[in-house]
Amino acid sequence: MDTPRRRWQRATTKAGSRRTAVPVALVVLVALFTGTVRANGAEPLSQSQAPGTLISDQPVTAPGVDGKAYLVSYWSMSEQGSAVDVTGVVFVPFGSPPAGGWPIVSYGHPTDGMASSCAPSLDPSTDVPNVNDMLDRGWEVVASDYQGETNQAIASAGGLQPHGVNIPTARNIIDIVRAALQLPEAHASTQYVVWGYSQGAAAATVVASIAATYAPQLNLEGVVATAPPSGLVEDFYGAPSDPASPFTLMYVAGYNAAYGSAVVPLDLTPLGMRFYNDLSYDCYDTLASEMSQYQADQVFTTTTPTLFFAILLATNDPWFIPQATNTPVLLVQGSADTTDTPLDTWFVDAHLCAIGQDTVLWEYPGLDHNDIVGSSMGDVEHWIADRFAGVGNPDPSPPDGESGIQQSACN
């Protein structure tokens, strides 16, 4: 779960009733403005800090996992182009690797918090859903914590995760694949697929757009985006009397961390600042519980994003991915999802098709945000296996009509 305030109460909102287009002016301004922000914050990277460079690694116990687990730290790149230390887990199947190494699935996790205490790698056994199914298929699985959510057992980098800023998150997801290639025990292949869920799904769509230029030495075979958040600008804060959303607070804090207060100010009341300070320690569930009794105008001093903030939200929205690539993209959506809704994902699909992206949309009747991963995973694994095998897309084996429906296919 990882979207702004309007998804906090989505179950009480009629889907589509408030749909408006994001002003075209936002898209026109995006490249110039964000390019300036990134250039002003960038620092030259040394060769030892090149993205994907493995810094350290250590074996860790992962009870119940059908493979060996390694906690790693590696260099990646921030939104501004500076070197950043990131942690994650590399899961290696038991047995002998195939010629060329184990193909890799890089997993992008959903919203869990923004601080080191929330790092998924703190519990490797629960880090990745369905990890054993993938390991048993002979796939190596890598899972980034994302920058800011740094596991302090192996690295000391701190700060808040730039929540919802999809470009650096996409880099983190790619760079752990490069790091795995440098881990001798991993026997990793350059062939990989990215699978992201919720927050990680939005970042996965960005992986598809940047991978060829960001990591040309790797071979991205496909991207799966399960319940991707989109439509970020619209109704971002909500009405003053709406419930205060932890998602909105995390977006404000994350964009402030990525771009600075001059671009994304912390428009928070004293109560809001208290919750903001809690982000350095508390994870999502605790924050949501703490904020549940308050309304938006008790936490935020505005209900209108600044123009620059709106531009940046649009920049990181799958609705506005600028150009197509050769990477096949699979969108997976539950029809009963009130967090990241089917309508929003249909808009993502329509946009990707319009720009010529090789895209398939699968929808699963009756499934909500929490059910979609477990119920669709068998079909998703089949799709990933076909990508590794070089099968064309749309896949010749779409989901069973009783469980999932192929709603759209374009290339």
Per-residue pLDDT of the chain (411 residues; tens, 9 = 90+): 444 544 444 433 333 333 334 444 555 555 555 554 443 444 456 778 999 999 999 999 999 999 999 999 999 999 989 999 999 999 999 999 999 999 999 999 999 999 999 999 999 999 999 999 999 999 999 999 999 999 989 887 778 999 999 999 999 999 999 999 999 999 999 999 999 999 999 999 999 999 999 999 999 999 999 999 999 887 888 889 999 999 999 999 999 999 998 889 999 999 999 999 999 999 999 999 999 999 999 999 998 888 889 999 999 999 999 889 999 999 999 999 999 999 999 999 999 999 999 999 999 999 999 999 999 999 999 999 999 999 887 777 778 766 888 888 897
pLDDT given for residue 2 in this prediction: 40
Sort strands 102-108 and 188-197 into parallel, antiparallel or unpaired.
parallel
What single-letter amino acid sits at 310? A
Q: Which tokens is 264 given?
A: 């994304």
Is the Cβ–Cβ distance between 105 and 274 less than 8 Å? Answer: no
Please report, for the chain, the start and end positions of each structural domain, with discontinuous segments joined by +: 5-40+232-315, 42-226, 325-411
Query: Which CATH class for the 325-411 domain?
Result: alpha beta
Q: Is 90 helix (H, G, I), strand (E, B) or coil?
A: strand
Q: Which tokens is 249 given?
A: 């607070």
pLDDT given for residue 32 in this prediction: 53
Domains 42-226 and 325-411 share a fold: yes
Return all residues near 21 (Cβ < 8 A) that are at least 6 apart. none
pLDDT given for residue 168 in this prediction: 96
For residues 223 and 229, what is the distance between their CA atoms, to the nearest angstrom? 15
- Tokens 């992008």 correspond to 108
The DSSP call for residue 228 is -
What single-letter amino acid sits at 162? P
| Helix (H), strand (E) at residue 10 | none
Peptide bond into 365 cis (omega under 30): no
Q: Is 299 helix (H, G, I), strand (E, B) or coil?
A: helix
- Burial class from Cβ neighbours inside 10 Å (0-12, 13-18, 19+) for residue 243 reads middle
Return all residues near 270 (Cβ < 8 A) that are at least 6 apart. none
Cα atoms in the Cβ-side hemisphere of radius 13 Å centred on 32: 6
CA neighbor of 142 nearest in space, from 189, 169, 185, 107: 107
**Checking phi first, is residue 27 left (phi over 0); if not, alpha (psi -120 to 50) or beta?**
alpha
What topology is assigned to 42-226 in CATH? Answer: Rossmann fold (3.40.50)
For residues 327 and 329, what is the distance between their CA atoms, to the nearest angstrom? 6
What single-letter amino acid sits at 380? V
